[in-house]
Amino acid sequence: MYISLKEAHNIMGMAILFLLLFAIIAILIVFLRKKPFGKFSKVVSLIGLIIIHLQINIGIALYFLSPLGKSNFSGESMKHTISRFYIIEHPIGMILAAVLITIGYRRSKNTTRTNANRHLQILLFYGISLAIITYLIPWFLWN
Ligand code: HEM
């Protein structure tokens, strides 16, 4: 169970980087072409929303199953960079990234905004979120 969740979390992490980047580039093109916020924009931004929510749920389950998660929480482990990364920085930062995506998605659904403004909400919130996620991926695993 732990190993499969860890594998899924790893694969989904890479998929998120790719899909968010794709969503941002696609929305940027639609925005620059001054197209309406139509079905395409909705689907692309919804994919980003769904995948990050799935990943957060897997992450929370992993937090309770992994030896690097909750069970590693102690005053002593806070002094170690990698332990602190998995116990505090990675989970909190990633949850913040998901909150930002959710806010951006919700704001883009507001039909009282102009088409350009709806696209801008996605670009801004998904963009900041992608930067946070990229920063908090445990890249050191592959060094
Ligand atoms: C967008 C959100 C997230 C992304 C992209 C992400 C990505 C990753 C990646 C790539 C790994 C390395 C997996 C491996 O060693 O094979 C990892 C590990 C881990 N993540 Fe996340 N994560 C996210 C959210 C979360 C959240 C919200 C939590 C907890 C609440 C969490 C808890 C963990 C834990 C405990 C590990 C260590 C697993 C282990 O090696 O035993 N993650 N994460």
Residue 136: its pLDDT value, please?
98
What pLDDT is attached to residue 19?
Answer: 97
Is 6 strand, coil or helix? helix
Among positive and negative, which fits the CA dihedral 140, 99, 9, 91? Answer: positive
Q: Dihedral of CA 43/48/51/53: which sign?
A: negative
pLDDT digits (tens, 9 = 90+) for 34-61: 999 999 999 999 999 999 999 999 999 9
Q: Calculate how far, in angstroms, residue 50's C-alpha sits from the geometric centre of ligand 1.
A: 17
- All residue ranges of the chain with pLDDT < 50 are none
Cα 47 to ligand 1 centre (Å): 20
Task: Determine the residue of 49, 72, 94 to mutate for testing ligand 1's pocket, defined as the one with the most ligand atoms within 8 A of the Cβ atom.
Answer: 94
Domains of the chain: total:
1
Whether ligand 1 lies within 6 angstroms of the CB of 101 is answered as no
* Cα(124)–Cα(119) distance, integer angstroms: 9
In whole angstroms, give the CA distance from residue 27 to residue 20: 10
CB of 82 closer than 6 angstroms to any ligand 1 atom = no
Residue span of the structural domain in which 43 resides: 2-142
H or E stretch covering 54? helix 39-65
What's the confidence (pLDDT) of residue 143? 79
The conformation of residue 113, written as its DSSP 8-state character, comes to: S
Q: Which residues are CB-contacts of 122 (< 8 A; sequence separation ≥ 6)?
A: 23, 24, 27, 41, 45, 104, 105, 108
Q: What are the backbone dihedrals phi and psi of residue 36, each rounded to the nearest 5 degrees, phi first?
A: -70, 160
pTM: 0.95
Centre of ligand 1 from the C-alpha of residue 10, in Å: 7
DSSP 3-state helix, strand, coil percentages of the chain (rounded to 5)?
A: 85, 0, 15
